[in-house]
Amino acid sequence: DSGVTQTPKHLITATGQRVTLRCSPRSGDLSVYWYQQSLDQGLQFLIQYYNGEERAKGNILERFSAQQFPDLHSELNLSSLELGDSALYFCASSPPTGARTEAFFGQGTRLTVV
């Protein structure tokens, strides 16, 4: 168990809908990262938050947004969903050290858009 909790584990929704994925980082970790894993694109970095502030942005679509709350949990909002958004969405967290370090991944949310 990595200590990172993601909910829900599975989500099935229709095209055009909006969903929210939730992530609770490990205790003490200030950084939260979101990744998308799909068959055609592989593992792609979406966005990073550090202590409530957006720190880095990757290949995140405009239809997607995220935030990190004062209690450090994070939510990834996906709207106007398309079939191609079906993927595994991972959240990861890392310790608040100055040195570059490993990331701890949650078990992911499997999103299926039908």
Partner 1 sequence: SQQGEEDPQALSIQEGENATMNCSYKTSINNLQWYRQNSGRGLVHLILIRSNEREKHSGRLRVTLDTSKKSSSLLITASRAADTASYFCATGNAGNMLTFGGGTRLMVKP
Q: Which residues are near partner 1 by CB under 8 A? A: 2, 4, 31, 33, 35, 42-45, 48, 50, 55-56, 58, 88, 90, 92, 94, 100-108, 110
Q: Which residues of 45-54 are buried (b: 16+ CB within 10 A; e: fewer)?
A: ebbbbbeeee
- Of 85, 89, 112, 110, nearest to 9 by C-alpha is 110
> In angstroms, what is the minimal distance from the CB of 16 to partner 1?
26
Between CA 6 and CA 109 the distance in angstroms is 7
Which lies closer to partner 1 via its Cβ, residue 33 or residue 64? Answer: 33
Kindly state the smallest distance separating residue 63's Cβ from partner 1, in Å: 20
Q: Between residues 17 and 41, which has the closer beta carbon with respect to partner 1?
A: 41
Q: Which is nearer to partner 1, 18 or 57 (CB)?
A: 57
Nearest-approach distance from CB 10 to partner 1, in angstroms: 11
User: Across the chain, where does the E strand assignment appear?
Assistant: 5-7, 10-13, 19-24, 31-38, 42-50, 53-57, 64-68, 74-78, 87-94, 104-105, 109-113
What minimum distance in Å lies between the beta carbon of 55 and partner 1?
6
Toward partner 1, which CB reaches closer, 8 or 16? 8
- Are 58 and 7 a contacting pair, CB within 8 Å? no
